[in-house]
């Protein structure tokens, strides 16, 4: 094994061990894949909200971000700033921790992940605008509500499209 990959593989094994350790009491109620998605997705959501809060309050400093060709409200600019970080961690968790039964090539998964995340971005944008500008919620609270809605969409899209583990499981069961 490549020495550069070995620490990452060790990290993957540790993450799986910890998640699977907590899975034991839930074993009778939900599939391991769903539990792993909840655990890694939950971590990624917490990371996203913390980074969003820090960005909104301290980096963007609640100010409009004027890029010259476009001006972004602080809540949208914070989302744009944080997105690449949680995109990368989300894909890595999904590919190497959650949807490990997928037989699709990594490049195909990444392309499909980009498509499903594009849907998430659109939902995030629409819902953030709606909650902050029309419902008048605080941006961090709006981000939390938005995230809860987007999680449902994301799980279904990843399971049945991006990584296709839902379809593969049904096919394997029929054989």
The three state secondary structure string of 59-100 is HCCCCCEECCCCEECHHHHHHHHHHHHHHHHHHHHHHHHHCC
Kindly state whether residue 31 falls inside one of the protein's structural domains: yes
CA 17 to chain centre: 21
Q: How confident is the model at residue 4 (pLDDT cuts 50, 70, 90)?
A: low
List the domain range (segments joined by +) for residue 54. Answer: 6-174
Kindly state whether residue 1 falls inside one of the protein's structural domains: no
Q: What is the mean pLDDT of residues 145-166?
A: 86
Question: Residues 48, 86: contact at Cβ < 8 Å?
Answer: yes
Residue 86, pLDDT score: 93
**Helix (H) or strand (E) run with residue 26 in it:** none
Q: How far apart are CA 158 and CA 60, in angstroms?
A: 31
Q: How far apart are CA 41 and CA 91, in angstroms?
A: 10
Q: Tell me: the pLDDT tens digits for 13-23?
A: 999 999 999 99
Number of structural domains in the chain? 1
């Amino acid at each position: 094994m490549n020495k550069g990959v070995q620490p990452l593989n060790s990290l993957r094994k540790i993450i799986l061990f910890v998640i699977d350790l907590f899975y034991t009491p839930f074993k009778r109620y939900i599939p391991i894949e769903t539990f792993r998605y909840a655990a890694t997705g939950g971590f990624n959501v917490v990371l996203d909200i913390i980074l969003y809060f820090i960005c909104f309050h301290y980096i963007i400093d609640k100010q409009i971000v004027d890029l010259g060709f476009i001006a972004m409200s602080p809540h949208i600019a914070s989302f744009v700033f944080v997105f690449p970080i949680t995109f990368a961690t989300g894909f890595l968790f999904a590919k190497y921790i959650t949807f490990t039964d997928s037989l699709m090539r990594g490049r195909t998964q990444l392309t499909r992940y980009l498509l499903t995340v594009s849907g998430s971005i659109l939902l995030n944008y629409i819902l953030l605008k709606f909650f902050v500008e029309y419902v008048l919620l605080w941006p961090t609270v709006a981000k939390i509500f938005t995230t809860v809605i987007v999680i449902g969409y994301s799980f279904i899209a990843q399971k049945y499209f991006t990584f296709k583990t839902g379809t593969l499981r049904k096919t394997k069961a029929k054989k």
